[in-house]
Amino acid sequence: MNRIERKSSSGHIHIPSSSSSRTLNRKASTLSNIERRGRKKDVIEKFIESDQTVILSSLSQLRHNILCEGLPTSGPDQLCPYRIYIWSILLRASPINTDDYVELVKVGESKSLGKISNDAFRTFKRDRKFQGKVSESTLIRLLNCYSLTVESRNEKLEKYENIVADDTDYFDEDLDTTEMIPMASSTSSKRTSIDYDLIHKQKLKLSPYVQGMNILAAPILYISKSEPEAFSLFSKLLKTYIPLYVLPTLNGALDGVKLF
């Protein structure tokens, strides 16, 4: 049996007892296990990692847990390590294919690029943490990609609005309403429900860009693990949850004020 030896102040070799040796070994084993396991997971993190069969009730429970427990922060930047996953779940934003986002970037400049660039360099200019993590070019690229998708959608709406108004059941198979690639060939043929609703029911034209979108995109980019992930969340937020708040007429904001 291997034993731990050390010298005393008098120079003699001290050999610990078997019980002391076992205690030291247990402590070393415990520390090793802690290192392997990493940090301890809290209630909310355990919840989002567990299987949830009923989506709506699970979302309600998650919101309740967040209100009661809050999201913990750690590290030098004081960030919650799983905040982006919470946002993705609450927004119900699906993961996107990175190749799709790359293709969208390749499309080039949107009509709103000038406005985007004018606003981007002023975004959280005095926040060193933000400036150190999110570059101006990243913010411009994300907003430009979003603008491209909206410009493409609005063009399709203008082209088909008369036909749709006459026949709500009409659907042209040549009308590509995919979310990601507006002007390049798409790798996906899946149409989202929000696209269908916008074309066939609401016929709502979104704004490619209005001042203030940069402030909405900035925190999403700050906590996201990747740029495509941030684009997915940003698009979902604006197109599905607050489309009226980002119109030049500020319809959503005005309606919100009326509630008070």
User: pLDDT per position in the chain (260 positions), as tens?
Assistant: 444 344 444 444 343 445 444 543 444 444 344 444 556 777 677 776 776 666 777 778 788 888 888 887 777 777 888 888 888 888 888 888 899 999 999 999 999 999 999 999 999 999 999 999 999 999 999 999 999 999 998 888 877 765 655 555 544 444 444 443 444 434 444 444 444 444 444 557 889 999 999 999 999 999 999 999 999 999 999 998 888 888 888 777 787 788 76
Domain ranges for the chain: 45-81, 98-258
pLDDT, position 179: 44
Report the amino acid identity of residue 158: E
Report the amino acid identity of residue 101: Y
Alpha helices (runs of H) in 76-171, residue ranges in sequence order: 83-91, 98-107, 113-120, 128-133, 136-166
CB count within 10 Å of CB 246 equals: 23
Contact 249, 161 (CB under 8 A): no
pLDDT, position 163: 65
pTM score, whole prediction = 0.67
Report the distance separating Cα 100 and Cα 107, nearest Å: 11
Contact 198, 164 (CB under 8 A): no
Report the distance separating Cα 225 and Cα 254, nearest Å: 34
